[in-house]
Amino acid sequence: MQAEAGAPLTSQAGDDATDSITHRPVTRSLFWLVLGIAAVWVVVDQVTKNLAEEHLSDGSTIQVVGEIFQLHLTYNSGAAFSMGTGSTGLLTILASIVSVVIIWNARRLGSLAWAWGLGLLLGGAVGNLTDRLIRPPEFGKGHVVDFFQLPNFPIFNVADIGITSAAVLIGILALRGINPDGTRHTKNGEDKGAESREPGAPAYDTDEDKGAGSREPGAPAYDKDNDDDADGDRRG
Catalytic positions: 146, 160
Q: Report the distance separating Cα 123 and Cα 132, nearest Å.
A: 14
HSE-CB for 89 with a 13 A CA cutoff = 1
Of the candidates 34, 38, 232, the residue with the CA atom closest to the CA atom of residue 114: 34
